[in-house]
Amino acid sequence: MARQSGEGRRRALLIAPSILMIGLFMLVPVGIMAAISFMERGSGGGVNWGSFTTEPYLQFLFERDLDDSLLLNTDYLQIFFRSIWLAALTTALTLAVGLPTALFMALQPERRRNLLIFLVTIPFWTNLLVRNYAWILLLRNNGLIDQVLMGLGLRSEPIGVLYTTFSIAVGLAYTFMPFMVLPIYASLEKLDWRLVEAAYDLGADRWRALRRVVVPLAMPGIAAGCILVFIPCLGAFVTPELLGGGKALMIGNLIQSQFGAARNWPFGAALSMALLAAVLLAMMFYLWRYRRAPGAV
């Protein structure tokens, strides 16, 4: 009995550092943000400590008319949904490229796989800004891609893809690709390829074996990859700024500007809380689906 509790204490000690980390560096800041989101804005930035108001949340959905009545204002909601759309598009792009990549890697001989994992992580080594500027050079009018296409005679004018939602998605997809490839690779690497053989044996061609056996069994990795890409994309602000040319405001840019130029911390905090709530809802949906999914049918 004594040994048991000693064991338990030792285990508690093992986990103590991470609990301390999460408590100190996650829960406390989030708590501060939550508190700020209910305060009045200070005149020169910051907040009036101790005040209480729900105004920042009202500001998200409404604007005040001259007579102080609330009018529905969808500007911020639009930004919100545009960001969700961008994150979804980026996730779809990374999935479309990442799944075949991970499949290819998993099918390579053992020796070559480590090299490929290493290659996948190379983009991480370069500064985010440098990578984004590199994409600007590639995508801009008469940039490298245009020059190649026009040089080959495939197009007579620039494709004009820079500073669009698509160029933001491409830049984000590039940045977050490893987050998609590595979890999928991890689940494919564990896959029993004899199951694919069994599928072939029972009359499934390659496409159907992929769809009916490989993808369902790689689903934990695919789902993890999607979450790991979708969530940071939702709050991204550097890439939308640079590759979007600041034309389309994303939620990340909006939050950043509220803490910066607009000096409206409470509103920025309220937006962050809304974003956090959206992410948590998505996660809960995933967990709820996932607990039922395996073995359903």
Partner 1 sequence: MKDWAIEARGLTKRFGTGADTVTALDRVSVTIRENEFFTLLGPSGCGKTTLLRLIAGFELPSEGKLLLHGQRIENLPPFRRPVNTVFQSYALFPHLSVLRNVAFGPEMQRRPKAEIEAEARRMLELVRLEGFERRLPRELSGGQQQRVALARALAGRPRVLLLDEPLSALDLKLRREMQIELKRLQHETGITFVFVTHDQEEALTMSDRIAVMSGGRILQIGTPTEIYEQPTSRFVADFIGETNFLDAHCEQVAEGRAQFRLSSGDLVQGLAIPGLMSGSEVTLAVRPERLDLLADGQPGIPATMQDLLYIGNDTVCTVALADGTELQVRVQNRHGAIHASAPGSAVRVGVEPQAVRVVGD
Place of tokens 């369902």: 216
- What are 50's two structure tokens? 């101790």
Binding mask 150-189 for partner 1 (x = CB under 8 A): ----------------------------------------
107 binds partner 1 (CB under 8 A): no
Residue whose CB is less far from partner 1, 218 or 236: 218
- Record the tokens describing residue 156, joined without a space: 């007579």
Q: Which is nearer to partner 1, 63 or 201 (CB)?
A: 201
Closest CB 216 distance from partner 1, rounded Å: 5
Smaller CB separation from partner 1, 77 or 202: 202
Cα of 287 vs its chain's centroid, Å: 17
**Dihedral sign computed on CA atoms, order 206, 210, 211, 212:** positive
Site string for partner 1, 24-53 (x = CB under 8 A): ------------------------------
Task: Using DSSP bridges, classify how beta strands 62-64 and 47-48 pair: parallel, antiparallel or unpaired.
Answer: unpaired
Report residue 227 as tokens.
Answer: 């979450």
Q: How far is the CB of 245 from partner 1 (least distance, A)?
A: 45
Indicate the residue among 94 and 187 with the shorter CB distance to partner 1: 187
Q: For the CB of residue 203, give the shortest distance to partner 1 in the complex, in Å.
A: 4
Nearer to partner 1, 196 or 273 (CB): 196
Subset of 182-241 contacting partner 1 (CB under 8 A): 192, 194-195, 197-205, 208, 212-213, 216-217, 219
Residue count, binding to partner 1 (CB under 8 A): 21
Assigned token pair, 57:
């949340």
Q: How far apart (Å, rounded) are the C-alpha atoms in residues 91 and 233?
A: 8
Helix 265-292 crosses helix 251-259 at what angle (to 10 degrees)?
A: 150
* Min separation Cβ 293 and partner 1, Å: 9
**Segment 275-294, which members bind partner 1 (CB under 8 A)?**
294
Q: Which is nearer to partner 1, 111 or 194 (CB)?
A: 194
Least CB distance to partner 1 at residue 290 (A): 13
Residue 27 or 107 with smaller CB distance to partner 1: 107
Cα 271 to Cα 283: distance, rounded to the nearest angstrom = 18
- Residues in contact with partner 1 by CB under 8 A are 192, 194-195, 197-205, 208, 212-213, 216-217, 219, 294-295, 297
